[in-house]
Every structure is written in structure tokens, then in C-alpha cells.
Amino acid sequence: MNNNTFVVIMAGGIGSRFWPISRVNYPKQFHDVLGTGESMIQTTVKRFRKVCPPENVYVVTHRDYAALVREHLPELSENQILQEPIGRNTAPCIAYACYKIAKKNPHANIVIAPSDHVILREDAFISCVHEGLQATATANILVTLGIKPTRPDTGYGYIQFLPDSEHVLKKVKTFTEKPSLEIAQMFIDSGEFVWNAGIFIWNAQTILQAFREYLSDMAETFEEGKAAFDTDKEEAFINKAYSHCRNISIDYGLMEKANNVYVILGDFGWSDLGTWNSLYSLSEKSSEGNVIDGNVLLYDVHNCIVKTPQNQLVVLQGLENFIVAEHDNVLMVCRREDEQKVKDFVSDAKAIKGQNYI
């Protein structure tokens, strides 16, 4: 196993589209959403045991979740848990990790991955990752993994690539964020687009140079304080650095602007598990088309997803295509076709009922 390979797991998100299971004080990545006996972050870290040494895995999370990371991943040292003082999207998160790793090992080859994605065919995924690492070890390129689309999904970003049948790496032409259904169908029909999985591979020097070119203010901030990494001054520096960082994604701030971006086309049973319908599509269903996780009695219920506590009985009658989800002090009943309204429910719950319900 290559000691120059590092993995960064991004675990600071709240996952509000999975409310009320995913909450501010206990977000999705710390839940056993699929009923496997492991939280999503535990499954993610285990997946990368085939990629790098365990001491080369870093988790970036919000400071409020550091205790949860320690609880779920007790094998990590304190130095492997990077604590953000405030959420500033993925660009500062990635800058923090990459500048810290580059100081430790200037020859580092780095994989960036979310903590809460589902990958059903792990061997195929690991193969794609190794192909990317092999490429970035010797070339100054930024690699992302693209998922071969199975439907015109409007909830994902899309990557357009230049067709090249001879090479695994395809040159990226454009990025498009969450298109309309009509445009998404056009993308599928063209055969030149893949879903953006938000998984990246690059070497340390290439990504630092990209920050200098496309996010120069952020690069200047982190370069000024790089001497603080792995010292008792790191926390104070990061507090100051994040107060200067823009709230911006790595896609918008850097990847969409760079001219050395390549994509590897993947087909490994991926889902960002960002919504209730994505969980429904992945889960085993009853003969009535229901996905059930709870202590329930169902009467004339079809094509529903139900996730409720085991310590109380839930009786449902006459529902079709609904989400029924209960966690802690919130019960949500919502038509599956309206799942995009969940974010509105969260916003209204906070504004009208208070912080305790989000």
C-alpha cells in the first residue's frame, strides 16, 4: 500500500433533505440509514482501507461533531480529525485538509470523498479510485469520478466530457448544476454526460497550484498559516482562517474554471442518499412496494417508505406513495413526489417552532 496516498472524508454537512432523521445535533452520516449495523461514516472509512494506510485517513467535520466522529471512529488520532469552526462549503474544507497533508507529505496523492454516500459495488469503486491515483501520481491533473446516469435526475449536477474511447480518463468540457427535467433528458440522450459524484483525486502540488490560480484569496490565507499545522497553534489559525474564507463549493470556485480536469466514468452502484426517494430506490421492498424500518401495522398501504422508532407501534391505513418518518420529537408525513419540500419544512420548523425541531 502506497504511503503517499491519503484520503479525506468530508463529514460536516447536516443532510437537511433527510429530516427529521438527519438533525443538526446528529446528522445523516452518523446514522445507520441502510440498516447494515454501521453508520454511514463508518462504512465510508472502512471502504478506504483498501486505498491507503489507516493513519493517512483524515476526517473534516464541524467542531460540534468532533465528539461524534471520535465515538464512531475511535481508531482515528486527534490529528486525523480536522475541526471546522463554521461551515463554509467544500472549498475551505478541502483547502484545510490539502494544505495540512501537503505540509506533512509534499508528494501526497489525495482522494476527497463525502462521508454519506452509498456504493454498492465496492470493488468497482476501488478500481476507479486506483486508476485515478495512478494518473494523478505522475500528472498535474484534477480528476473527478462521474457516474453513468440511469435516469434524467434533476437533483444531481452533471459533467460533460469529450468522448475518447481509448482512454479511461476523459477530458471534462462543462459542469452543469441540477438541470431541468427536459435538459437532463437531453444530457442522457447525448451520451456525453455523467452525474457529478463529488469525489475527487489529485496530488498535493496540483491542487495547491489550482487554489493559487482560481481561489487565490483562500490560498493566501492557508499558505500564511501553514507553519501552524500539527502544532498547538493550529486551532487558533483555523479559527482565523475560516473567518476570512468565502462560503463556496470546490466545484464552483475551482473545478468549473480549471482546464486540467478529467473524469473517470464509474458504474459502481452509487447514490448520494440525499433524499428519501433515493433511500426508497435502494432499499428492499415488500410485495406492496413498501420500505419499512419500524414497528408498524399496515392496511392498504402501497409504495411508501416508513422509518419510525422500534419502541412504539405505528398503524397506517390507506396511504400510497408517502414518506412517513419519525425521529426524536418530529413526525413527518409527506407525499414522495413532494420530497423536495422537506427543506422548506425544515426552514418553517425552525422559524415557527424553534431550533429544537431541526
Q: Does residue 349 have a pLDDT over 90? A: yes
Q: What pLDDT score was predicted for residue 324?
A: 98
**Mean per-residue pLDDT, 281-310:** 96
Asked whether residue 104 carries a pLDDT value surpassing 70, the answer given is: yes
- Are 7 and 52 within 8 A, CB to CB? yes
Give residue 259's pLDDT: 94
* pLDDT score at 242: 96
**The pLDDT value given to residue 36:** 87
Confidence category of residue 35, pLDDT binned at 50, 70, 90? confident
With CA atoms as reference, report the closest residue to 79 among 87, 91, 69. 69
Distances (CA, A) of 238 to 65, 221, 226, 323: 16, 10, 10, 40
Query: Is the model's pLDDT at 272 over the cut of 90?
Result: no
Mean pLDDT of 189-195: 90
pLDDT at 241: 96
What pTM did the predictor assign? 0.92
Find the mean pLDDT for residues 203-211: 98
Would you kindly state where each structural domain of the chain is located, as residue ranges? 5-271, 285-353
The whole-angstrom separation of Cα 331 and Cα 308 is 9
Q: What is the mean pLDDT of residues 147-157?
A: 87
First to last CA, the chain: 42
pLDDT (mean) for 273-278: 89
Kindly indicate the confidence band of residue 214, based on its pLDDT and cuts at 50, 70 and 90: very high
Confidence of residue 167 (pLDDT cuts 50, 70, 90): confident
Q: What is the pLDDT of residues 46-98, one digit of tens each?
A: 999 999 999 999 999 999 999 999 999 999 999 999 999 999 999 999 999 99
Position 246: which residue type? R
Q: Are 264 and 6 within 8 A, CB to CB? A: no
Distance CA 197, CA 339 (A): 21
Report the Cα 73 to chain-centroid distance in Å. 17
CA distance 74 to 72: 6
pLDDT at 202: 98
When pLDDT is cut at 50, 70 and 90, the band that residue 227 belongs to is very high
- Say if domain 5-271 classifies as CATH 3.40.1160.10: no
pLDDT score recorded for residue 154: 81
Cell of 160: 460533460
Ranked by mean pLDDT, the top range of 29-33, 150-154, 171-175, 209-213 is 209-213
pLDDT for 15: 84
Percent with pLDDT over 90 in the chain: 84
Residue 287 has pLDDT above 70, yes or no: yes
Query: How far is it, in rounded angstroms, from Cα 275 to Cα 87?
Result: 21
| pLDDT at 191 > cutoff 90 | no
Rounded mean pLDDT of 115-142? 95
Give residues with Cβ within 8 angstroms of 37, minimum separation 6: none
Please enumerate, as own/partner, the contacts of 207-213 that have beta carbons within 8 Å and a separation of 24 or more.
Answer: 207/94, 207/98, 207/110, 207/142, 208/98, 208/99, 208/102, 209/140, 210/142, 210/254, 210/258, 210/260, 211/95, 211/98, 211/254, 213/258
For position 14, what pLDDT does the model report? Answer: 86
Residue 165 has pLDDT above 70, yes or no: no
Interior angle at CA 197, CA 85 and CA 103, nearest 5: 45
The overall average pLDDT reported for the chain is 94
| Contact present, 187 and 179 (Cβ < 8 Å) | yes
Mean pLDDT of 119-137: 95
